[in-house]
Amino acid sequence: MQEGQIAEQLGGGAIAQFLRRLARAQQNLVELGKLLQTADIHPDIVAEILPQIYESAQKLDGVTSDLSKILNARNTSKQEKENISMHSVMSTVLFELDSEIKSSGAQIKVELDENAQEFYAIKSYVESILFNLISNAIRYRSPDREPQIEVSISKPDPHLFQIEVSDNGLGIDLNKYGKKVFNLYQRFHKNISGHGFGLYMTRTQTEALGGEIQVGSIPDGGTTFTLTFQISDYEK
């Protein structure tokens, strides 16, 4: 893929984020490499520098890996849509998150409407979307209450397919961060480990499937993500 095609798919904001991260990792590697070239460098300093080189190399690898995932998600030409069982998708996601669910004590309620048992989509994308949203709900749970997560899958009308994931967690201050929620490498709770990649990827995959995603949230009052997909007559 040519540089212009990459730029077109990512958009200006994402490109800027990638360039900043790549530049930082590259600069760190260059500076550490210069230190290692010093003739009289002490072995103790070498031992201190090598882990830093490894860390910078990992960050560089992480950024390029993220770039590859995003480009693959946006390129749906190599992925085939099919009628997927939403019951099967939910079973897979909950199985993969079993350890996190048990360790957090999260209670997960799934409502799957009778008329929304199947969805014409790319299975791996839908699984990834639900995995990211539910794992985020677990990760950003409130320490003051038992995590409650609700997943609702429905067809509000014959031309709409909707997925809604709600939680009672820490929430997000949308007055402050509303325009940044789905931006790349954005984090809103610095005391909790995270990559700032999942929601960007969720939006990318949702849009690749022709849908849109919205968020409603109150600080310390939970968050709701609503994904809406248009259904054509062919897909019904």
Higher pLDDT, 8 or 203: 203
Q: Which two tokens stand for residue 74?
A: 């946006």
Average pLDDT, stretch 37-41? 61
Q: Helix and strand tally (H, E) in the chain?
A: 8, 7
d(CA 221, CA 174) in angstroms, rounded, equals 12
d(CA 59, CA 57) in angstroms, rounded, equals 5
Average pLDDT, stretch 79-92? 92
Which pLDDT value is given to residue 38?
63
Q: Is-contact 140 189, C-beta < 8 A?
A: yes
Q: What is the pLDDT of residues 104-123, one digit of tens each?
A: 999 999 999 999 999 999 99
pLDDT for 235 beyond 70 = no
Range scoring the smallest mean pLDDT among 65-79, 90-104, 113-127, 176-190 = 65-79
Q: Is-contact 225 214, C-beta < 8 A?
A: yes
Higher pLDDT, 232 or 120: 120
Percent of the chain with pLDDT over 70: 64
Higher pLDDT, 174 or 14: 174
Percent of the chain with pLDDT over 90: 50
Q: What is the pLDDT of residues 161-177, one digit of tens each?
A: 999 999 999 999 999 98
Rounded alpha-carbon distances, angstroms, from residue 222 to 29, 132, 147, 149, 213: 41, 16, 10, 10, 17
pLDDT for 24 beyond 80 = no
Can you name the residues that pair with 212 across neighbouring β-strands? Answer: 228
Average pLDDT, stretch 79-85? 89
pLDDT for 19 beyond 60 = no
Average pLDDT, stretch 57-75? 60
Q: Which two tokens stand for residue 46?
A: 């070498």
Biggest alpha carbon–alpha carbon distance for the chain: 74
Which pLDDT value is given to residue 206?
94
Name the band, by pLDDT with cuts 50, 70 and 90, for residue 196. low
* CB burial of residue 44 (10 Å; 0-12, 13-18, 19+): exposed
Can you name the residues that pair with 229 across neighbouring β-strands? Answer: 161, 211
Rounded alpha-carbon distances, angstroms, from residue 87 to 82, 91, 152, 190, 231: 15, 6, 12, 35, 19
